[in-house]
Amino acid sequence: MKALRLILGDQLTRSVSALQGLNYAEDVVLMAEVHQESTYVRHHQQKIALVLSAMRHFAAALRAEGVAVDYVKLDQEENSGSLFGEVRRAARRIPVERLIVTEPGEWRLWEEMQTWQSRLGVPVEIRPDDRFLCSREEFSRWAGRYKNPRMEFFYRAMRAKTGWLMDGDQPLGGRWNFDPLNRKAIPRGLPIPAWRRYEPDEITRETLDLTAKLFGRHFGQLRPFGWGVTREQALQTLDEFIRDRLPWFGAYQDAMQSGEDLLFHSAISPYINIGLLTPSEVCQAVLSAYHAGDAPLASVEGFIRQILGWREFVRGIYWLHMPGYAQSNFLQAGRPLPSFYWSGETEMNCLRQVIQSTRRNAYAHHIQRLMITGNFALLAGIDPAQVEEWYLIVYADAFEWVELPNTHGMALFADGGIMGSKPYAASGAYIRRMSNYCGSCEFDSKTKTGPRACPFNYLYWNFIIENRDRLKNNPRMAVIYRTLERMDAESRRHITQQARDFLETLFLEGE
C-alpha cells in the first residue's frame, strides 16, 4: 500500500515514527516549507533560517539513502502556503493510498489534523511521537494520581523508570536533586569556553537569503548565523558541551555574566526540539561522561533533570491542559509588553544584556529567560498573552508545547499553580548574587526606593502588595507576607507610589 509520509520541520529525526516501516520501493516522503508555519507568529529570523536549512539538509540525507522525497520550497510559485494545502497537492500528484504522519507537537496542528482524513478522502494514520521519554498517555496516568502534580515527583518516577543515576531503588549520591549546589556565581578569572559556531554552507546561505527577502522585518539579527543545521553538527555540539562545559555546568547553570551569551550551557535545545538530536541519546551521552569520570554527579544530575524532568513534565502539562491552558490569568495581569523587549534599549543592564543577546542569537539560557525577562514581566504585571507571544517569537528552540507552560505557568504564574507551587518572583538581590550585571547598571541593586533604586526592588514588593489576596494563603509565600506585615505603612506607600510612577513612565515611553 503506497504511503505518503509527511515530515514536519520539528521532526527531523531518521527514526521518527512516521518513517518507521518505510517502503523504499513505493513510499514517498513529503516535506514542505509553508508560509503559514513561518508567520503564525513573526519568528526570529534565525529560527526561520535554522528550520529551513535543517529541513533541506535532512531531505538531502534521505535522498542519499535512496528515499523518494517530494520537497516543496517556500518560494515555489505553486506553493499553497499552508501545510494541509501542500498535503492535498501532493496527494493529487502522487497516487497514494494513505497518509502517515507523526503527531505534531502543537495543539493547533493536532486539531487541524483531525479533519484531514475526511478532507483528503484517504486514510490518515497519526502515529505517537516516540522520541519523548514519556508518552502523553503515560503522563496522563501518572498525573491522575495527584491533586497537584509536581515536577519533582514526576522526575523521580522517570529516574526510577529509566534507571538513570540510580543505585537500585535509591538515587546515586543519596539525593534526587543537587539543585542547592547549582547556584554559584561565576568567579573572576574563570575561563569561559568559546561558543562553537558553524560557517554556513551553500544550502544555508540560500535559506539565509530567502529569509532576508521574505522575513527581513521580523525580530532579531539574521547574520552572523552560526547554528548547526545537520545531525553531524548537532552531535559535534553535544560532544563539545560534554567535554568543555558539562564539568562546570552544575555549579554555574544559574549564573549570568555580561558579554557571555552561553557560559557553561549546551545550547542544544534547538537541535533537540527540531529533531537533530533525541533526548534519550543526549542523556545517555551525559551519563557515559559521568561513568567515565569526566563530569561530577551534581553537574550530570542537573543536566539530566532539565531533559528527563522539566522537558518531559512541561510537555505533559501542555497536553494535559490544552486547549484551554493559555486562557487563564490568575494574577489578572494586563499591562502591555514594554517596547524595550523588542529593542533592548533600557537603562536596566540585566534586561539590556539578555534582550540584546536574544536579538543576536535567538537564544538565552533558562535563568536569563526565567529570572530576568520573565521575572520583570511577572513583577510588572504584563499581559500573559503578550509575553507568551514574545517568547514564542524570539527563541530558536521555542515551540508552543514547551514555550507555553514554561512562560504561562513557571515564569508568570498565570495558571495559578499548575506548573509550580509559587511565583518565581525576585528582587534585585537575586540578580546581584547570580550575575555581574548590576556593576554596570544605572541603578543600585542594594537600594530599595529612590531615584537610583533598582526597579526590580520596588516592583518586587509592589507585586507582593498588589497580589496579597491571591497569594497570602500560599504556604510557600508565608515568610514573605510575614515580612510585609512588619513593614511600616510609610515604606509601603513609598514602594507602591514609585512602582506606579515607574510603570506609568515606562508605558508612556513605549507609545
Residues 295, 354, single domain; the answer is no
**Helices then strands (H, E): number in the chain?**
25, 7
Mean pLDDT, rounded, for 413-429: 96
User: Residue 184 is part of a domain; what is its CATH number?
Assistant: 1.25.40.80
Give residue for cell 523504499.
24
Q: Does residue 326 lie within any of the structural domains?
A: no
**Predicted confidence (pLDDT) per residue in 269-279, tens digit:** 999 999 999 99
Same domain, 162 and 286: yes
Residues 389 and 425 placed together within one structural domain of the fold: yes
Would the pLDDT of 392 be above 60? yes
Express the helix, strand and coil content of the chain in percent, nearest 5 each: 55, 5, 40
79 and 143 housed in the same domain: no
Considering the chain, what percentage of its residues have pLDDT values greater than 70?
99
How many structural domains comprise the chain? 3
> What are the pLDDT digits (tens) for 158-206?
999 999 999 999 999 999 999 888 889 999 889 999 999 999 999 999 9
Could you tell me if 27 and 151 lie in one domain? no
Question: Is the model's pLDDT at 506 over the cut of 90?
Answer: no
What's the alpha-carbon Rg for the chain, to the nearest Å?
24
pLDDT score at 355: 98
Q: How far apart are CA 148 and CA 413, in angstroms?
A: 14
| Final residue belonging to a domain, choices 264, 290, 321 | 321
Q: What is the pLDDT of residue 115?
A: 97
Over range 83-88, report the average pLDDT. Answer: 97
* Residues 274 and 155 reside in one and the same domain: yes
Residue 509 — very low, low, confident or very high, per pLDDT cuts 50/70/90? low
* φ and ψ of 442, to 5 deg: -70, -20
The whole-angstrom separation of Cα 369 and Cα 378 is: 12
Q: How confident is the model at residue 507 (pLDDT cuts 50, 70, 90)?
A: confident
Domain that holds residue 63: 3-127
Residue 260 within a domain? yes
- The count of other CB atoms within 10 Å of the CB of residue 234 is 23
Percent share of the chain, pLDDT over 90: 95
Question: In CATH, what number is assigned to the domain containing residue 366?
Answer: 1.10.579.10
Q: What is the DSSP letter of 71?
A: E
CB-based burial label for 442 (10 Å; 0-12, 13-18, 19+): exposed
Q: Which residues pair with 335 in a beta bridge?
A: 382
Flag whether pLDDT at 511 surpasses 70. no
Residue that terminates a domain, selected from 278, 294, 321: 321
What mean pLDDT comes out for the span 130-141?
A: 97
What average pLDDT does the segment 76-101 reach? 94
Cα of 137 vs its chain's centroid, Å: 22
**Co-location of 70 and 143 in the same domain:** no
Per-residue confidence (pLDDT) for residue 182, from 0 to 100: 80
Nearest to 303 by CA among 181, 139, 434: 181
Residue at 198 is within a domain:
no
281 lies in the same domain as 396: no
Domain identity same for 290 and 414? no
User: What average pLDDT does the structure give for the chain?
Assistant: 96
Residue 327 lies in a domain: no
Cell of 405: 507552560
